[in-house]
Structure 1
Amino acid sequence: MERQQYVERCSELFEVGGYAAVRTTAEAGLKELGPDPDLFRWLGQAHAAEDEDDHDTEAETAYRQGLALAPDDLGLLVSYLELCLRSDSFSYPGRSKRAVDMQARIEELAPPGSSERLRVDDALGWAGRGYWDDLKAAAAEGRLQRAAAAEQSVLVTDALRRSARGEFSEDGGEDLQAAELAAAVELLQGRRYAWMRLLLAHRVAAYVWTFVMSFGVNKALVWGGVLDFSLWGWLFWIPVLTAEAKLRQAKRLGRQRVVARMQERHAQTDAA
């Protein structure tokens, strides 16, 4: 198989979050074609995306192997810079020092306004945030996640209703959202999950009711002299959090199925 085919496969697998599959594909390409900067970059990015120390070490190894072949490769330089800026400077002081040199080299090679310079500016922006900036960023990210979860609840509820009318069928394609919805419908079928379907269909009301009940029970136990401090009311959050966990499970399952379908398509192409 040609190098460009390996690169395209890594790109499409990375886009749907199939990081392990990207690593497998990049390693297969390196084994077949020999050392290649682009494949080393995809291998490094697929490790770095896991955001774990061991994977970061593997990512750094891949980036350095790629830069040994192509010292001025902007894709490798920017990816390596992002990894260095994200790393703990106390635990990995060497990476912090290398970030300065890489930034200078990127500014020499990449013209202002280029995609690489924009990536560098973005990375320097979040790397240089202070404590309050981190809090504001975390709050903004939390709002986005809550909005995404609320949207998913609406989509899943609609899919469940269509499934009950016989109008919804599992999508066998590579559309990630469709695969996630199909997985959610599958996981929420049956009487035992009726209460989860009800919570998701009335998500806002469920959160309001849960907050009122948990707060009210804790205050009642304290004011009534039963306890000096109560956390028992937090038990009311268990059903809501369980339903949210089921949606996260559906997203993981949908992603796994899409990645498997892509790999199956790749295998069929190779066999043809």
Structure 2
Amino acid sequence: MERQQYEQRCSELYEVGGYAEVREAARAGLGELGPDPVLLCWLGQAHAAEDEDDHDAEAEAAYREGLALAQDDLGLLVSYLELCLRSDSFTYPGRAARGAALRTRLEELAPPGSAERARVDAVTGWAGRGYWDDFKDSAAQARSRREGAAEQSMQVTDALRSAARGESGGEPGEDLRAAELAAAVELLQGRRNALLRLLLAHRAAAYALTVGLCLGVNQALVSSGTLRFSLWGWLLGIPMAAAEAKLRRARRLGRERVVARIRDRHERADAAA
């Protein structure tokens, strides 16, 4: 198989979060074709995406091996810079020092307006932020997650109503969002999940009511003299937490199914070759 085919497989799997499978595909390509900067870059990115110290070390090794073959490869340089700037400078001072050298090299090689220069600017801008910038970014990310969860709840509710009417949602195939939605419908079926479906159908109101009840119960227990301090009211939040856990599990299950379908397609292509 040619390098472009391995590269395409890595790209497809990386896009849906199949990082372990990306590493497997990249290693298969390296085993068949020998050392290759592009495949080593994919291997490094698939390790770095795990955001764990052991994987970061493997990512750095892959990037360094790739740069030994192609020292001016912009993809490798930018990916390595991202890893260095993300690392803790106290724990890994060597990476921080290498990051400065990589940035200088990229400013020489990456032309203004290029995709690589945009990545460099984004990474260096992130690394140079202050606490206030971090706070604003965290708030924006939290708002985005809330909006995404609310949208998913609406989609799941609509899909559940369609399923109750006997309408088929169709085969999700390799569409990640469709696979996550199908998994959520599957996990929320049945009478025992009726309360969770109700909470997700009225998510904003359910959160407001849950918080109000939790605070009210805690205050009542303290005011009545039953307890001097109470957290028991927060037990009323368990159903809402269970509903959110179902959605997280659906996202994970949907991703796993899409990755499995992509791998199955790759295996069929290999068998037919």
Q: Is the TM value for this pair above 0.5? A: yes
Q: Which ranges in structure 2 are unaligned for 5 or more consecutive residues?
A: none
Cα distance in 2, alignment partners of residues 240 and 170 from structure 1:
29
**SS of 1:173 mapped into structure 2:** coil
Query: Which amino acid in structure 2 is aligned with residue 40 of structure 1?
Result: L
**Structure-1 residue corresponding to 2:268:** 268
**SS of 1:168 mapped into structure 2:** coil
**Structure-2 residue corresponding to 1:212:** 212
Quick check: 1:154 aligned with 2:193? no
Deviation at 1:222, TM superposition (A): 2.1
Alignment of 1:10-29 (within 5 A): 10-29=10-29
Cα distance in 2, alignment partners of residues 95 and 166 from structure 1:
57
Deviations 1:221-266 (A, max 9, x none): 2222222222111111111011101001001000000010001001
Answer whether contact 1:170 1:182 (CA < 8 A) is retained. no
Alignment of 1:133-212 (within 5 A): 133-169=133-169, 171-212=171-212
**Structure-2 residue corresponding to 1:117:** 117
TM-score, normalization by structure 1: 0.98
Cα distance in 1, alignment partners of residues 12 and 77 from structure 2:
21
Quick check: 1:40 aligned with 2:46? no
Q: Percent identity?
A: 71
- Coordinate RMSD, CA, aligned: 1.0
**SS of 1:22 mapped into structure 2:** helix
Deviation at 1:45, TM superposition (A): 0.4
Q: Summarize the Cα distance change of 1:231–1:58 in structure 2 as closer, same or farther, 3 Å threshold.
A: same
Query: Which amino acid in structure 2 is aligned with residue 257 of structure 1?
Result: R
**Structure 1 runs of 4+ with >6 Å offset:** none
Query: Which amino acid in structure 1 is aligned with residue 53 of structure 2?
Result: D
Which moves more between the two structures, 7-16 or 218-227? 218-227
Cα distance in 2, alignment partners of residues 50 and 161 from structure 1:
36
**Structure-2 residue corresponding to 1:228:** 228
**Structure-2 residue corresponding to 1:51:** 51
Query: Which amino acid in structure 2 is aligned with residue 221 of structure 1?
Result: L
Cα distance in 1, alignment partners of residues 91 and 129 from structure 2:
19
TM-score, normalization by structure 2: 0.97
Answer whether contact 1:180 1:254 (CA < 8 A) is retained. yes
Answer whether contact 2:159 2:169 (CA < 8 A) is retained. no
Q: How many residues align structurally?
A: 272
Which moves more between the two structures, 215-224 or 47-56? 215-224
Cα distance in 2, alignment partners of residues 170 and 195 from structure 1:
26
Deviations 1:95-122 (A, max 9, x none): 0000000000000001112111111111
Deviations 1:34-82 (A, max 9, x none): 0000000000000101111111111111101100100000000000000
Q: Which ranges in structure 1 are unaligned for 5 or more consecutive residues?
A: none
Answer whether contact 1:179 1:255 (CA < 8 A) is retained. yes
Quick check: 1:30 aligned with 2:19? no
Query: Which amino acid in structure 2 is aligned with residue 28 of structure 1?
Result: A
Deviations 1:148-190 (A, max 9, x none): 0000000001111111111124524101111111111111111
Cα distance in 2, alignment partners of residues 231 and 185 from structure 1:
33
**Structure-1 residue corresponding to 2:66:** 66
Cα distance in 1, alignment partners of residues 8 and 63 from structure 2:
19
